Amino acid sequence: MSEPTDHGRGPSDAPSDAELAELTPRELEQLGYRLDDVEIVDNSPKWPISGTRAEKRAERNVAAWFALSALSGLAFVVIFIVWPWEYRNPGTEGYLLYSLYTPLIGVTFGLSILGLGVGAIAYAKKFFPEDVAVQQRHDGPSPDLERRTAAARLTEAGRTSGIGRRSLIKRTAGLGAGAFGLGTGVLTLGGLLENPWAEGDESPLWVTDWAPHGEKVYLRQDVGDPHEVVRMRPGDMSAGSLVSVFPYKESWSEEKAKEALHHADNPVMLIRLRPGTPVVERKGQTGFNYGDFYAFSKICTHMGCPTSLYESQTQRLLCPCHQSQFLANEYARPVFGPATRSLPQLPITVDDEGYFVAEHDFTRPVGPAFWELDAT
């Protein structure tokens, strides 16, 4: 009596590697069924008569999903590269196109994935043979031989589905997969299409609207009305308080001043410490404060969320997104959470009229770290 295999799947008459190499895909498929104790009760082709109207209609239905994926993927690439994406204020020229940018890239990329997935499922449902099989259940992993025969069964199922003669489906599926792959590549490498350092020391990652460029930059409080300009004075704040401020220049037009309220790297926390609070200054940032007043970027150095919760008793600034905490009286260094860099400090003073002004721009980049930036 012959010995059973490791899984109890019949006699141990497994062919050698040399014999396996000589087997056809059909023979490998049958061997896999036998090794897995699978009995094929029925195996009927979906389209016993090829070329019928119903078959052609099913083929066009599957191809339509792949074509949708291809068109959506190509549309995503075009929109991602050429669509206006820079911020526009509501009611200004170009705002409608700007507001549609994110929804359009989301919809087109989603449709590209959806078309591929539904097309593959539709092909399997409409063209793979209908199998009715009975299989004994066995525990444990499958040996290499059974994995090879499983691959052969998939290959044979594809062959019997007639994929070799369905050129429309093959072409649209290839086009859809190619467009989706192209879109994925553009999404991954899109940030490298433009050189962020093309302007040298004046590149956007280094410079904000707080740079004076020979003109006073006032600390402006946003009171909710973009037409009302409220410049901050020391007497406007009580001890232990925080106010969010934005840059403002008298030479700016009303539109430019409104835009400054929305630029991602502009928000600053103006904090007035309680009298007598011990302070640790960072090397190179001595004198950045004005008395008990300190100004730090509001943009968290972890993921760019607004850090705007201030506990005056513990001097902690809290980012609500991922719970990073910074000490306001120690150059806003991180003491808890995922952030590893301190918040950039804005050097401030008071002009002859008693208004807060920025002495110069931040000395460290605002926001999350990037490749060319150290971790401090």
DSSP conformation letters of 308-362: -EEETTTTEEE-TTT--EEETTTTTEEEESS--SPPPBPPEEE-TTS-EEESS--
The phi, psi pair for 260, rounded to 5°, reads -65, -20
Q: Answer yes or no: is pLDDT of 191 > 90.
A: no
Q: Tally the residues of the chain.
A: 376
pLDDT of residue 130: 77
DSSP summary character for residue 14: P
Q: What is the dihedral of CA 293, 295, 301, 305, to 10 degrees?
A: 100
Identify the sign of the CA torsion 199, 205, 206, 210: positive
Q: Answer yes or no: is pLDDT of 324 > 90.
A: yes
pLDDT of residue 63: 92
Counting residues of the chain whose pLDDT is more than 70, the rounded percentage is: 88
pLDDT of residue 171: 85
Map out the domains of the chain as residue ranges.
27-192, 203-358
Average pLDDT over residues 293-311: 93
Q: Evaluate whether 276 touches 335 at the Cβ level (below 8 Å).
A: no
Which among 368, 296, 359 has a CA at the least distance from the CA of 332? 296
Which among 149, 132, 131 has a CA at the least distance from the CA of 9? 149
DSSP summary character for residue 274: P
Helix (H, G, I), strand (E, B) or coil at 28: helix
Distance CA 265, CA 298 (A): 8
For residue range 86-135, list pLDDT tens digits in order: 877 777 888 899 899 999 999 999 999 999 999 999 998 888 877 776 76
Q: Answer yes or no: is pLDDT of 11 > 60.
A: no
Question: Cβ of 179: how many Cβ atoms within 10 Å?
Answer: 24
Average pLDDT over residues 55-61: 91
Q: Which two tokens stand for residue 49?
A: 């008569």
Please enumerate in sequence order all residues whose Cβ is within 8 A of that of 82, keeping only pairs 6 or more positions apart, or say none: none
For residue range 146-164, list pLDDT tens digits in order: 777 777 767 776 677 677 7
What's the Cα-to-Cα distance from 189 to each of 77, 186, 221, 331, rounded to whole Å? 12, 5, 38, 35
Which among 152, 137, 133 has a CA at the least distance from the CA of 40? 133
Would the pTM of this model clear 0.75, i.e. be above it?
no
pLDDT of residue 190: 72
For residue range 340-372, list pLDDT tens digits in order: 999 999 999 999 999 999 999 999 989 887 766
Beta bridge partners of 358: 348
Beta bridge partners of 40: 133
DSSP 297-318: ESB-TTT--B--EEETTTTEEE
- Per DSSP, helices labelled H in the chain are 17-22, 25-35, 53-82, 95-127, 144-160, 167-189, 254-260
Helix (H, G, I), strand (E, B) or coil at 185: helix
Distance CA 344, CA 59 (A): 60
- Give the model's confidence band at 296: pLDDT under 50 very low, under 70 low, under 90 confident, else very high: very high
DSSP summary character for residue 281: P
Q: Answer yes or no: is pLDDT of 2 > 60.
A: no
pLDDT of residue 8: 43
Helix (H, G, I), strand (E, B) or coil at 212: coil
Element (H, E) at 162: none
For residue range 212-260, list pLDDT tens digits in order: 989 999 999 998 888 899 999 999 999 999 999 999 999 999 889 988 9
DSSP summary character for residue 96: H
pLDDT of residue 138: 65
Q: Which CATH class is domain 203-358?
A: mainly beta
